Structures are given as C-alpha cells and as structure tokens.
Amino acid sequence: MNKYAAELLGTFAMVFAGTGAIVINDVNPGSVTHVGIALTFGLVIMAMIYAVGDVSGAHLNPAVTAGFFLAGRLTGRTAIPYVLSQVAGAFLASFVLLLLFGNRAHLGTTLPLGSPWQSFGLELLLTWLLMFVILCVSTGPKEVGVMAGTAVGGVIALEAMFAGPICGASMNPARSIAPALVSGTFANLWIYILAPVLGAAAAVPCWRITRGDSSAFHAKNTEPE
C-alpha cells in the first residue's frame, strides 16, 4: 500500500500548494502573482518527485498514469488504484482549502478564458509535451533520477507560466476535478478530463519514435516496488 499512499499524499501536496497559491492570491490580491502560482506548481511537483518518486513514481496525475499504462510501463491492476489515490488526495486538499479559506477563487478551479475548444487544444498539447518529457527522463514507471524532478517541475512551471492565463494549464484531471466539484464550479470540466488523457496518449508514440523500447521493460520493471 505504500505506493498508493505516496500517490495520495503527493497529489494532496501538489493540489494544496498549487491551488492554494491561487486561493491565497485571491485572499491577498497580487501577493503571489501569476508567476508565483506557476512556480509553486513546478516547485511542489519537483519536491514530490524527489520525495516519493522512488516509492510510487510520483505520477500525481491520472493522465500521466494513463500514459505509463499505454507505454507498457504500468499494468492495469496498478493504474486503477493509482488514479483513485490521486483523486482522493486532490479532494482532500480541496476540502482542506475550503475549511481554511472558504470558497475563494473557486478553490483554484481551472476555467477557460477564451473558447472551450481553444483551451481543449492547449490542454492537449501541454499534456503531450509534459508526458513526452516524463517518458524520456523516467525509468520504467518511475519519475526518478538526479534531473527527473527538475525537468518535470520545470516543464510544468513553464507551461503554467505561458498558458495558465488562457486555459489554466491543468494537464491533470485530478487537479481539476477536485476543486471544481468541491467549489460547485462544473463549467467546461470535460475539457480538463478529456484533453489531458488524449494528450498523454499522443505522447506515447512520439516517445517510441524517438527513444522508446517497450521490450526493455520486463515484468519486474512494470510495477513500482
């Protein structure tokens, strides 16, 4: 159970810090800023990769788990509990923020600024890039290694920096579902569920073309220890 606990706690930390930065920036306007919010997401994910990456792989994201599954690096029997753990951690974080601050800034819910399809396209491409980097810097189903946390956290901060003002730069269904449901803000939630999963799936063949070799991952490497 330690890997599922790691996914729950890691996702809790990510949603609590990341969406918490959005909430606090609303409570004290301009105190965190958009740049600060983007860096918060990148830094907390980097920290969690170094903290629990060797335990569960620090997916912290159902789309990433789906990507590892489609790449042949993770079995279905592990992928499903991973997703459930991630969603549970995200909901726990949103409930804690609701208790601490009330329903401010919709608890960090991701909402499109322009058309829904514009944000759908952005979320798909952002998750594609994120998943491609993750597959390239990870080992088996795990985001581990000296530079894995820096690379993944850096990509997330970069994408949140330039695309966040338009689509929210979620790239993570759990991160979007929890604040949306807890705050009661359901508009366009489908974007942030469907687009990240499709983006992660699209990254798998790109990874295979450039450097993937699924045959190198034997049964002992398909499950986090």
Whether the CA torsion 88, 106, 175, 198 is positive or negative: it is: positive
- Calculate the average pLDDT of the chain: 92
Let me know if residue 225 belongs to a domain. no
Let me know if residue 118 belongs to a domain. yes
| SS3 state at 20 | helix
Let me know if residue 219 belongs to a domain. no
| SS3 state at 139 | strand
* 109 φψ region: left (φ > 0), alpha (ψ -120 to 50), beta (else): beta
For the chain, percent of residues with pLDDT exceeding 70? 93
Let me know if residue 48 belongs to a domain. yes
Angle, in degrees to the nearest 10, between helices 173-183 and 62-70: 150
What average pLDDT does the segment 191-211 reach?
96
Q: Look at residue 142 in the predicted model and tell me its pLDDT.
A: 75
Let me know if residue 221 belongs to a domain. no
What average pLDDT does the segment 186-208 reach?
96
pLDDT digits (tens, 9 = 90+) for 165-196: 999 999 999 999 999 999 999 989 999 999 99
CA distances for 185 relative to 35, 39, 53, 113, angstroms: 24, 25, 32, 15
For residue 130, give the amino acid letter: L
Q: Any idea which residue has 């290694």 for tokens?
A: 145
Residue 217 has pLDDT above 70, yes or no: no
Residues spanned by the domain of 195: 2-213
Let me know if residue 203 belongs to a domain. yes
Q: Look at residue 214 in the predicted model and tell me its pLDDT.
A: 47
Which residues, other chains included, contact 23 with Cβ-Cβ below 8 Å and sequence gap of 6+? 97, 101, 104, 105, 107, 108
Let me know if residue 222 belongs to a domain. no
Alpha-carbon gap, residue 216 to 89, rounded angstroms: 32
Let me know if residue 218 belongs to a domain. no
Angle, CA of 160, 206 and 190, to the nearest 5°? 50
Provide φ and ψ at 155, rounded to 5°.
Answer: -65, -40
Q: Look at residue 138 in the predicted model and tell me its pLDDT.
A: 85
Q: For the domain that residue 8 is a member of, what is the CATH number?
A: 1.20.1080.10
Q: Between 90 and 220, where is the model more confident?
A: 90
Number of structural domains found in the chain: 1
